[in-house]
A and B are shown apart, each in its own frame.
Chain A
């Protein structure tokens, strides 16, 4: 049944190095107090996870991660950072042991829960059985799109995707209307009077 041979393939090594770099970037983001460095590192984090998604054959997720994570969120976080300070305020690092115990216990419970998950690509798994099987069988006849996920997103669930796009567009429009277009330039071009404490040093 289990014809999966565990050999060291180049793709496995690529996955391992990508995951190691993800971990390093995450630790560096946590430790850095320099907000611009954190923004750039989060862009790198999204690029890395997008590459990892491509290696997992989840191409559509990788598309979204690259466009939203590396592109738009980096710019949004930069815009937010320009409205505040460039450095995180230094704070007293008081270690609360209860919080650490809670985090580690939750993590251990989640790892323990993965034991119950079905094996990768298991035919009997619920995700691969009923509706997914039908989509895989019917997509080449219904819609001549080679990627099943694209067919589901753009055709079977086309109205849903259209609604999502509408919601995101409306939200962005509302934010721009509330903040004003000049807010994307660090608030410099906003026509209303800035508060008196808003001088150049605090930016």
Chain B
């Protein structure tokens, strides 16, 4: 059961990676990074149960905190970066 869950999480990680590689807009990449962090939290949590040592759960909790704070910090930079009087719509960035 844990093996299946691990496989599902890894597939979800790959999907988030695809979005981070080819996200056309900036916010796609922010969201991909954030959801990748969530997948890492889940993977660490389930890896503890997979190896029979669920002591690492609090590390997963710490990662969830770091992930949240990092996403807020990244998004704050973009709120600072909006020029005054400019429309606050997300600007489309072309994929590189």
Contact = CB atoms under 8 A, between A and B. Distances in A.
Interface residues of B, number: 40
A14 B20 contact: no
30 contacts: A10-B6, A10-B50, A14-B43, A14-B50, A17-B10, A21-B13, A25-B17, A28-B21, A32-B96, A34-B93, A36-B26, A40-B32, A41-B21, A43-B70, A44-B17, A47-B63, A51-B44, A51-B47, A54-B47, A63-B59, A66-B62, A67-B66, A71-B66, A74-B73, A75-B74, A78-B74, A79-B77, A186-B81, A188-B80, A200-B83
Interface residues of A, number: 40
A54 B59 contact: yes
Contacts of A54: 44, 47, 56, 59
Given A40-B32, A59-B59, A66-B62, A71 B70 contact: yes
Contacts of B20: 37, 40-41, 44
Dominant SS among interface residues on chain A: helix
A48 B6 contact: no
B14 interface: yes
Interface of B: 2-3, 6, 10, 13-14, 17, 20-21, 23, 26, 29-30, 32-33, 36-37, 40, 43-44, 47, 50-51, 56, 59, 62-63, 66-67, 69-70, 73-74, 77, 80-81, 83, 93, 95-96
Interface of A: 10-11, 14, 17, 21, 24-25, 28, 32-34, 36-37, 40-41, 43-44, 47-48, 50-51, 54-55, 59, 62-63, 66-67, 70-71, 74-75, 78-79, 82, 87, 185-186, 188, 200
